[in-house]
């Protein structure tokens, strides 16, 4: 009986993560589509999208942390919520300066949020499936952040398309984790 309850608890947690990862992937796909259409046509649309992206990350990490014991028990996500919230404000300020500043802020945010995501995935490794993709995503995010900072220092003005590729990769990793959990859950049901 205890094994069944333990197995059920893990499945319940994985069920939440599956829904969470699908939601994160869907948001990112929609964001990329909006960035590559409206965001390339209008600075105002691009500005709103650039502000929404780290704000969404803060909100999503907050919800996930509260579903998994709260921010006090999920320090990497607590850090991510704080960093993403601060960077949302920093993007607003950077938009008044130049797109180079915006890309630099996104670079810093990608490094810190990527490392936080990596920490969360490592912590969940033994209790939840699909974390290998989240580890890759966190590492890729940190590397992309350094690349963004290097690009921001160049004289050429970047565009929202620079960030869209990053968001697209994030969508891919979230989708992989969600599908991995879905397949794992289906296999458990058949056993």
Instruction: Reply yes or no on whether the pLDDT at 105 is more than 50.
Output: yes
Instruction: Reply yes or no on whether the pLDDT at 3 is more than 80.
Output: no
Instruction: Reply yes or no on whether the pLDDT at 51 is more than 80.
Output: yes
What's the average model confidence in pLDDT over 79-91?
Answer: 96
- Could you tell me if 27 and 183 are in contact, meaning their C-beta atoms sit under 8 angstroms apart? no
In this prediction, residue 14 carries a pLDDT of 75
Model confidence band, residue 11 (pLDDT cutoffs 50, 70, 90): low
Instruction: Reply yes or no on whether the pLDDT at 189 is more than 90.
Output: no
In this prediction, residue 10 carries a pLDDT of 47
pTM score of the predicted model: 0.87
In this prediction, residue 191 carries a pLDDT of 65
In this prediction, residue 2 carries a pLDDT of 40
The token pair at 162 is: 């620079």
Instruction: Reply yes or no on whether the pLDDT at 171 is more than 70.
Output: yes
111-120 tens-digit pLDDT:
999 999 999 9
SS3 sequence of the chain = CHHHHHHHHHHHHHHHHHHHHHHHHHHHHHHHHHHHCHHHHCHHHHHHHHHHHHHHHHHHHHHHHHHCCCHHHCHHHHHHHHHHHHHHHHHHHHHCCCHHHHHHHHHHHHHHHHHHHHHHHHHHCCCCCCHHHHHHHHHHHHHHHHHHHHHHCCCCCCCHHHHHHHHHHHHHHHHHHHHHHHHHHHHHHHC
Residue 2 has what DSSP assignment? H
What residue ranges do the domains of the chain occupy?
20-190
In this prediction, residue 98 carries a pLDDT of 94
């Amino acid at each position: 009986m205890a094994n069944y309850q333990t197995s059920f608890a893990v499945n319940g947690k994985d069920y939440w993560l599956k829904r969470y990862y699908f939601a994160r992937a869907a948001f990112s796909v929609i964001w990329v589509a909006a960035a590559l259409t409206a965001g390339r046509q209008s600075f105002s649309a691009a500005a709103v999208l650039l502000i929404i992206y780290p704000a969404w990350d803060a909100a999503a990490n907050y919800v996930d942390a509260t579903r998994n014991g709260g921010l006090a028990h999920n320090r990497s996500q607590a850090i991510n919520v704080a960093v993403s919230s601060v960077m949302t404000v920093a993007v607003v300020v950077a938009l008044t300066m130049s797109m180079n500043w915006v890309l630099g802020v996104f670079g810093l945010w990608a490094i810190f949020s990527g490392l936080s995501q990596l920490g969360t995935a490592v912590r969940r490794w033994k209790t939840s499936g699909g974390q290998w993709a989240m580890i890759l995503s966190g590492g890729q995010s940190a590397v992309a952040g350094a690349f963004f900072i290097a690009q921001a220092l160049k004289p050429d003005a970047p565009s929202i398309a620079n960030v869209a590729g990053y968001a697209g990769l994030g969508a891919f990793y979230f989708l992989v984790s969600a599908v991995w959990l879905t397949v794992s859950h289906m296999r458990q049901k058949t056993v």
